[in-house]
A and B are shown apart, each in its own frame.
Chain A
Amino acid sequence: MRLRTTAVVAAVSSLALLTGCGAADMTKQTSPFANAQGARTVTLSVQSWVGAQANVAVAQYLLEHELGYRVDTVQIDEVPAWDALSQGRVDAIMEDWGHPEEEQRYIKDKKTIVNGGDLGVTGHIGWFVPTYFAKEHPDVTDWKNLNKYADRMRTAESGGKGQLMDGSPSYVTNDKALVKNLGLDYQVVFAGSEAAQITQIKQFAKEKKPFLTYWYEPQWLFKKVPMTEVKLPAYKEGCDADPEKVACAYPHTPLQKYLNADFARNGGDAAALLKKFKWTTEDQNEVSLMIADQKLTPEEAAKKWVDSHESTWKAWLS
């Protein structure tokens, strides 16, 4: 009995020694799946929309086939992804739509994240109606006339008002405030995820029903369901400062890449490639459409794009 107690004490204390009785900073712990078996691993954050999947697919393909890395991808929502990035659980975010609060906290104050440069794609959020409906009723594209069409946009979910469909709760949106401040007879209905929203839009389009939706460019769905933007009061610098009082359109945002600070310093070829990664809206849409509509796997889609755009990506590797 004595012997066993001693053994237990010895085991526990050696464990304590091994794990280090000192501090364990969990903001510096990488993913357990990283760098297994001597492979150099890069972990990329994929957001839930397909454009982001396209960025990651191409970056992943090049890292794996041109530079010999193993790439892990993790799907995380936008805001938590910043946190994961600062902790080094992921090495890079390939497409960010602007998060001033997080930029202040992680880049300026904690210095755990650095900007990785422009993605080359400009993002824009807006309200859209299907083009077939806009052609029949051209005046629907001005927000002042939206109330006229409220009863045509009604659904079971929106009750007595018109339905303005919003997507994932993780996306940047002022729609509730906009509806209120512009005095619109609409109810914001959250689809809950982009997948659900796309499915619903496709169903509406098949029946040529009118609908009003929160949507954004660049997006592959425009190729399948042509949509026309509804003009909101013009965007002016700072008009969206108070989220309660917003009454203007969304800005055009040059999308950014962000890297974990340590990875940016010590990431070697991979970090260099990700910093140089820059393509156009058309490129991104081409890959997105292959993934989401032709149902190619992201890897196949990336391969197709890489095979036909050698001059673009060669520049990233130099």
Chain B
Amino acid sequence: MATITAPTPRGLPAVLRNRAVAKLALLVLAAAILVPLANARWASGSWPAALTVDVSEPLTTASTWIIDNRDSHPLFLYFFGHISNAVVVCVRAVYLVLLAAGWAGVTAAAALVAWRVTGLRLAAGTGVAFLACGFLGMWIPTMQTLALMVVAVLASVVVGALLGLASGLSDRMDRALRPVLDTMQVLPAYAYLLPVVLVFGMGVPAAVLATVVYAAPPMARLTALGLRGADKEVLEAVESLGATARQRLLTARIPLARKELLLGLNQTIMMALSMAVIASVIGAGGLGDRVYQALASVDVGAALTAGIPIVLLAVVLDRVTGAAGERLGDEPQPNGRARWVYALTGAVAVAVAGRLAGRLDWPDTWTLNFAGPVNRAVDWMTDHLYSGVPVIGGTADWAAHFTTWILDPLRDGLQWLPWWSVLLIVATLAWLIGTWRTALTAVLAMAAIGVLGVWQPSLDTLSQVLAAVAVTLVLGFATGVAAARSDRVERLLRPVLDVFQTMPQFVYLIPVVALFGVGRAPAAAAAVVYALPAVVRITTQGLRQVDPAAMESARSLGATPAQQLRQVQLPLARRALLLAVNQGVVLVLAVVIIGGLVGGGALGYEVVFGLAQGDLATGLVAGAAIVCLGLMLDRVTQPTERRAKKGA
């Protein structure tokens, strides 16, 4: 691969310049030959009609065939039917166990497990979190979501671990799987709900499978990473002891990769929970469905009431699995096994006690209702901020200005550009930042959009993404720099970022509409809010990791803080900043798509339309275009080395 091998920082710009010039020259040469040819043959501003393939006809036929044959064709009866059945049986089994344990039993079991895995503080936190779910009046939905998540996470871990094993042990599998996993990680989940629904119908099986598709890749990636990163000397030592391949795997490689495996589990859980709300669009039920229903009646308070348990579950699971990962390699405590037995006995005892007391269901009287105050606060905000604020104007005015001054010109500009020049720009950017491979992928992805016949709406979506990313980066870098300079700012920001990152994307949509009205501006605003935490976090980390010695020498040379930032910190943190851009783009795209629900139009609307009307032709083509767009944006912004995990 023609990667830029990391030379010393001082040498980097020169090398880069030479390479960049060479790349540009090559591109100009290619353009000079190809563009007149393309232009002569298909002269048009938009993607030429001669180069599109109409897939709506076969897709509609396929969709009708599936619906008509779902209850009779062997493929469904003997294959998909069993998968669906297995999911239903598993989810039901877990749900029944949770219900049988009752609220007291579940809370006790969760707290005691947290105690054994980590410590007393987290155990208390876990208990409080579960009780809070009950107090919010969300016990049954929480259990439904939990049952679904348990099954989805287990399935994701099994699938992910198997894929990871395959690609960790075989180089060929690794080469085959890596681009697939890379792609999966940049896909907005919304894009592939439709095909899953079509095969499995609305309901829990479809929701679980969509979640698995979304949550398995990080597990696979980290398993492979762990297996490949195992210490060579240990492996040689094991081999020299005459261990068979299987023994080597079981006794050395897998135990050595424990840390990565646990990190994979952690990532998988977080991804699965973030799907909880999106999956409710296809009938997952539980908490996500409550959020979705509340949003339908513009009830932000109720949406929050159902959203908070999701956030609590996410935080608890994140901390417990994270702490478990950190404690690996500690000395095992004495009589640890006995304490596990105590913990389990305790949990069972509480469950039985609850059962005997006839208190299995959460008591109706023990609920708090805070939807009212929240809604009043939201109403106040919209009353006073929407318009007519002196001097700065209301939020509605900002939204209108943002639309007419930024979004419209950007969209019209992109749509005015001749199609080949868009491809050329994509190629140039991708090649300058990445390698010829990423450039090729990006160009092919962009061309695929044209071939599918959704060039115009895709450019519309692209313009929204670009505008939102620009805003995100300005705000994110500014906040990141502030947080990197002052510990106090960082401490203040951290809990805010934590919460914002685990909130379901859907919850942002309604307040955003109340503030900015309907259209592309609110979609962009929701995307900015969603992507900001990741960008801030990566920027802060990147700036903080800059070699202290370099900073010290800059200071001793008398550089002002601004000079230090511009000439030392930012250049040295270049990689982290590029990563922030890449993450920002991926996250913004995910929400701009959901923005179809608040008038974002373009591809997002077409996916929503496809789901709502069961129209495979529209929905799937738009979904495929989103995939291509995501791929293109990811490759264009991809620094030469693979980035770290998603949502880092």
The 9 A-B residue pairs with the shortest CB-CB distance, nearest first, are: A170-B612, A24-B81, A32-B92, A23-B77, A169-B609, A156-B403, A84-B202, A26-B84, A48-B296
Q: Are B100 and A37 in contact, CB atoms less than 8 angstroms apart? A: yes
For the complex, is A291 an interface residue (Cβ under 8 Å from B)? Answer: yes
Q: Are B375 and A295 in contact, CB atoms less than 8 angstroms apart? A: yes
Segment of B339-347, B444-452, B510-518 engaged in the interface with chain A:
B510-518
Question: Which single residue of chain B is at the shortest CB-CB distance from A193?
Answer: B597
A206→B67 CA distance, assembly (Å): 46
Name the one of B89, B99, B599, B611 contacting A77, with C-beta atoms under 8 angstroms: B611
A27→B202 CA distance, assembly (Å): 10
Q: Are B67 and A36 in contact, CB atoms less than 8 angstroms apart? A: no
Question: Which single residue of chain A is at the shortest CB-CB distance from B246?
Answer: A1
For the complex, is B575 an interface residue (Cβ under 8 Å from A)? Answer: no
Segment of A194-202, A227-235, A305-313 engaged in the interface with chain B:
A194-202
Q: Are A192 and B297 in contact, CB atoms less than 8 angstroms apart? A: no
A35→B301 CA distance, assembly (Å): 30
Q: Are A89 and B517 in contact, CB atoms less than 8 angstroms apart? A: no
Interface string of B487-522 (1 = CB under 8 A from A): 000000000000000000000011001100111110
Question: Which single residue of chain A is at the shortest CB-CB distance from B615?
Answer: A79
A–B pairs, 11, beta carbons within 8 Å: A26-B85, A31-B88, A32-B92, A78-B612, A80-B612, A84-B203, A159-B408, A170-B612, A192-B601, A195-B296, A292-B299
Task: Give chain A residues whose Cβ lies under 8 Å from the Cβ of B509.
Answer: 196
Q: Are A157 and B519 in contact, CB atoms less than 8 angstroms apart? A: yes
Question: Which single residue of chain A is at the shortest CB-CB distance from B514?
Answer: A199
Tally of A interface residues using CB under 8 Å: 62
Q: Are B612 and A24 in contact, CB atoms less than 8 angstroms apart? A: no
How close is B371's CB to chain A, nearest CB, in angstroms? 7
A46→B371 CA distance, assembly (Å): 21
Given contacts A33-B95, A77-B611, 7 further A-B contacts (CB under 8 A): A29-B88, A84-B201, A87-B201, A169-B605, A192-B595, A195-B298, A195-B513
Q: Are B297 and A292 in contact, CB atoms less than 8 angstroms apart? A: yes
Task: Give chain A residues whose Cβ lies under 8 Å from the Cβ of B302.
Answer: 295, 297
A206→B384 CA distance, assembly (Å): 12
A207→B397 CA distance, assembly (Å): 13
Q: Are A156 and B519 in contact, CB atoms less than 8 angstroms apart? A: yes
Interface string of A209-253 (1 = CB under 8 A from B): 000000000000000000000000000000000000000000000
How close is B368's CB to chain A, nearest CB, in angstroms? 13
How close is B378's CB to chain A, nearest CB, in angstroms? 10
Question: Which single residue of chain B is at the shortest CB-CB distance from A158?
Answer: B519
Q: Which of B78, B372, B608 has the most CB of A within 10 A?
A: B608
Question: Which single residue of chain A is at the shortest CB-CB distance from B200?
Answer: A26
For the complex, is B161 an interface residue (Cβ under 8 Å from A)? Answer: no
Tally of B interface residues using CB under 8 Å: 84
Task: Give chain A residues whose Cβ lies under 8 Å from the Cβ of B99.
Answer: 36-37
For the complex, is B205 an interface residue (Cβ under 8 Å from A)? Answer: yes
Task: Give chain A residues whose Cβ lies under 8 Å from the Cβ of B89.
Answer: 19, 32
A19→B81 CA distance, assembly (Å): 10
Within 8 A of B (CB), among A172-190: 189-190
Question: Which single residue of chain A is at the shortest CB-CB distance from B100?
Answer: A37
How close is A162's CB to chain B, nearest CB, in angstroms? 15
Q: Are A75 and B86 in contact, CB atoms less than 8 angstroms apart? A: no
Q: Are B202 and A203 in contact, CB atoms less than 8 angstroms apart? A: no
Question: Which single residue of chain B is at the shortest CB-CB distance from A201?
Answer: B518
A18→B477 CA distance, assembly (Å): 57
Interface string of B83-107 (1 = CB under 8 A from A): 0111111011001100110000000
For the complex, is A25 an interface residue (Cβ under 8 Å from B)? Answer: yes
Segment of B43-51, B285-293, B527-535 engaged in the interface with chain A:
B285-293
How close is A200's CB to chain B, nearest CB, in angstroms? 4
Q: Are A74 and B289 in contact, CB atoms less than 8 angstroms apart? A: yes
Q: Are A157 and B599 in contact, CB atoms less than 8 angstroms apart? A: yes
> Beyond A53-B293, A89-B201, is A75–B280 a contact (Cβ under 8 Å)?
yes
> Beyond A31-B203, A77-B612, A203-B386, is A53–B285 a contact (Cβ under 8 Å)?
no
Task: Give chain B residues whose Cβ lies under 8 Å from the Cβ of A49.
Answer: 296
For the complex, is B71 an interface residue (Cβ under 8 Å from A)? Answer: yes
Name the one of B147, B382, B612 contacting A32, with C-beta atoms under 8 angstroms: B147
Q: Are B599 and A190 in contact, CB atoms less than 8 angstroms apart? A: yes
> Beyond A32-B88, A195-B510, A295-B372, is A50–B599 a contact (Cβ under 8 Å)?
no
Interface string of A39-68 (1 = CB under 8 A from B): 000000010111001000000000000000
Question: Which single residue of chain A is at the shortest CB-CB distance from B84?
Answer: A26
Name the one of A25, A157, A198, A206 contacting B71, with C-beta atoms under 8 angstroms: A25
A255→B510 CA distance, assembly (Å): 29
A232→B299 CA distance, assembly (Å): 33
Q: Are B597 and A37 in contact, CB atoms less than 8 angstroms apart? A: no
> Beyond A83-B201, A295-B372, is A46–B517 a contact (Cβ under 8 Å)?
no
Interface string of A147-174 (1 = CB under 8 A from B): 0000000011101000001001110000
How close is A84's CB to chain B, nearest CB, in angstroms? 4
For the complex, is B600 an interface residue (Cβ under 8 Å from A)? Answer: yes
For the complex, is B399 an interface residue (Cβ under 8 Å from A)? Answer: yes
A196→B595 CA distance, assembly (Å): 11
Task: Give chain B residues whose Cβ lies under 8 Å from the Cβ of A75.
Answer: 280, 289, 292-293, 296
Name the one of B76, B100, B298, B518 contacting A292, with C-beta atoms under 8 angstroms: B298
Name the one of A24, A33, A199 contacting B285, with C-beta atoms under 8 angstroms: A33
Question: Which single residue of chain B is at the shortest CB-CB distance from A171?
Answer: B612
Q: Are A192 and B612 in contact, CB atoms less than 8 angstroms apart? A: no
Q: Are B519 and A50 in contact, CB atoms less than 8 angstroms apart? A: no
Name the one of B197, B521, B598, B613 contacting A192, with C-beta atoms under 8 angstroms: B598
A87→B202 CA distance, assembly (Å): 9
> Beyond A84-B203, A89-B203, is A29–B296 a contact (Cβ under 8 Å)?
no
Q: Are A27 and B88 in contact, CB atoms less than 8 angstroms apart? A: no
How close is B524's CB to chain A, nearest CB, in angstroms? 12
For the complex, is A283 an interface residue (Cβ under 8 Å from B)? Answer: no
Q: Are B597 and A192 in contact, CB atoms less than 8 angstroms apart? A: yes
For the complex, is A115 an interface residue (Cβ under 8 Å from B)? Answer: no
Task: Give chain B residues whose Cβ lies under 8 Å from the Cβ of A297.
Answer: 302, 369, 371
Task: Give chain B residues whose Cβ lies under 8 Å from the Cβ of A83.
Answer: 67, 201-202, 614
Question: Which single residue of chain B is at the shortest CB-CB distance from A207?
Answer: B387
Task: Give chain A residues whose Cβ lies under 8 Å from the Cβ of B399.
Answer: 156
For the complex, is A281 an interface residue (Cβ under 8 Å from B)? Answer: no
Q: Are A33 and B144 in contact, CB atoms less than 8 angstroms apart? A: yes
Task: Give chain B residues whose Cβ lies under 8 Å from the Cβ of A27.
Answer: 70-71, 201
A33→B67 CA distance, assembly (Å): 24
Q: Are B600 and A192 in contact, CB atoms less than 8 angstroms apart? A: yes
A155→B205 CA distance, assembly (Å): 43
Question: Which single residue of chain A is at the shortest CB-CB distance from B360?
Answer: A37
> Beyond A83-B614, A190-B601, is A165–B67 a contact (Cβ under 8 Å)?
no
Name the one of B91, B296, B301, B396 contacting A50, with C-beta atoms under 8 angstroms: B296
Within 8 A of A (CB), among B336-382: 369, 371-372, 375, 382
For the complex, is B283 an interface residue (Cβ under 8 Å from A)? Answer: yes
For the complex, is A191 an interface residue (Cβ under 8 Å from B)? Answer: yes
For the complex, is B82 an interface residue (Cβ under 8 Å from A)? Answer: yes
> Beyond A24-B82, A199-B298, A200-B513, is A191–B292 a contact (Cβ under 8 Å)?
no
Q: Are A80 and B78 in contact, CB atoms less than 8 angstroms apart? A: no
For the complex, is B218 an interface residue (Cβ under 8 Å from A)? Answer: no
For the complex, is B545 an interface residue (Cβ under 8 Å from A)? Answer: no
A169→B598 CA distance, assembly (Å): 11
Q: Which of A26, A80, A81, A165 has the most CB of B within 10 A?
A: A26
How close is A37's CB to chain B, nearest CB, in angstroms? 6
Within 8 A of B (CB), among A95-131: 105, 110
Q: Are A74 and B285 in contact, CB atoms less than 8 angstroms apart? A: yes
Task: Give chain A residues whose Cβ lies under 8 Å from the Cβ of B71.
Answer: 25-28, 110
Task: Give chain A residues whose Cβ lies under 8 Å from the Cβ of B386.
Answer: 203, 206
Question: Which single residue of chain A is at the shortest CB-CB distance from B383?
Answer: A206
Q: Are A156 and B203 in contact, CB atoms less than 8 angstroms apart? A: no
Task: Give chain A residues whose Cβ lies under 8 Å from the Cβ of B204.
Answer: 31-33
Q: Are B612 and A87 in contact, CB atoms less than 8 angstroms apart? A: no
Task: Give chain B residues whose Cβ lies under 8 Å from the Cβ of A134.
Answer: none
Task: Give chain A residues whose Cβ lies under 8 Å from the Cβ of B521.
Answer: 156
A206→B383 CA distance, assembly (Å): 9
Interface string of A7-30 (1 = CB under 8 A from B): 000000000000100011111111
